[in-house]
């Protein structure tokens, strides 16, 4: 009596991963100033044909130089400066392979200076001196000139321009 041998079957399964698609990205500011942080926005997130979760790697460049201290999607305001050209490269990764990166670029523009005024009296009599103080600040640290124009019944009676970096005072004296 001979025993029949059963055929042995072997099957090979090959796992093939497909790269995630390139995302579409932009930066949250069209014309950022020194006071603005930069934030990557995923206009169209990456899709993965295998259904894998897609994570993103961020590489930042300032004036074409890599900025290695930033690894996330935000550049804080303390790193932005007027005239800087910022570029971000966003690379999708499904845990197995990286997809094609997408990039967005923006230039940091001039910030408007801030001005606050204080005046000694809004009800001055004709013989009273009137003093006005101006505090100005500029995030770009530009040189500024404050111009004081004093009007009496719509007619200019005194004008003075003063270069300043922060606080300047002017006095209108009636003789």
The string of pLDDT tens digits covering residues 46-97 is 999 999 999 999 999 999 999 999 999 999 999 999 999 999 999 999 999 9
Give the DSSP letter of residue 104: E
Rounded Cα gap, residues 38 and 55, in angstroms: 20
Look at residue 130 in the predicted model and tell me its pLDDT: 81
Look at residue 42 in the predicted model and tell me its pLDDT: 95
Look at residue 168 in the predicted model and tell me its pLDDT: 77
* Nearest Cα residue to 32 out of 167, 127, 146, 140: 140
Q: Is the pTM of this model over 0.75?
A: no
* Nearest Cα residue to 54 out of 44, 45, 63: 45
Q: For the chain, which residues score pLDDT lower than 50?
A: none
* Nearest Cα residue to 61 out of 89, 28, 24: 89
């Amino acid at each position: 009596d001979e025993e029949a041998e059963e055929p042995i079957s072997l099957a090979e399964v090959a796992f093939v991963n497909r790269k995630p698609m390139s995302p579409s990205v932009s930066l949250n500011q069209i014309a950022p100033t020194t006071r603005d942080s930069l934030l990557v926005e995923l206009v169209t997130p990456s899709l993965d044909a295998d259904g894998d979760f897609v994570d993103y790697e961020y590489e930042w460049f300032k004036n074409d130089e890599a900025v290695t201290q930033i690894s996330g999607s935000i550049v804080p305001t303390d790193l932005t400066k007027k005239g800087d050209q910022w570029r971000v490269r966003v690379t999708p990764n499904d845990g197995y392979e990286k997809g094609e990166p997408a990039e967005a670029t923006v230039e940091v523009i001039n910030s408007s200076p801030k001005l606050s005024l204080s005046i000694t009296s809004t009800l001055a009599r004709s013989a009273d001196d009137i003093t006005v103080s101006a505090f100005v600040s500029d995030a770009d640290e530009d040189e500024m000139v404050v111009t004081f124009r004093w009007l009496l019944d719509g007619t200019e009676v005194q004008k003075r321009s003063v270069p300043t970096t922060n606080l300047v005072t002017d006095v209108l004296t009636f003789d």
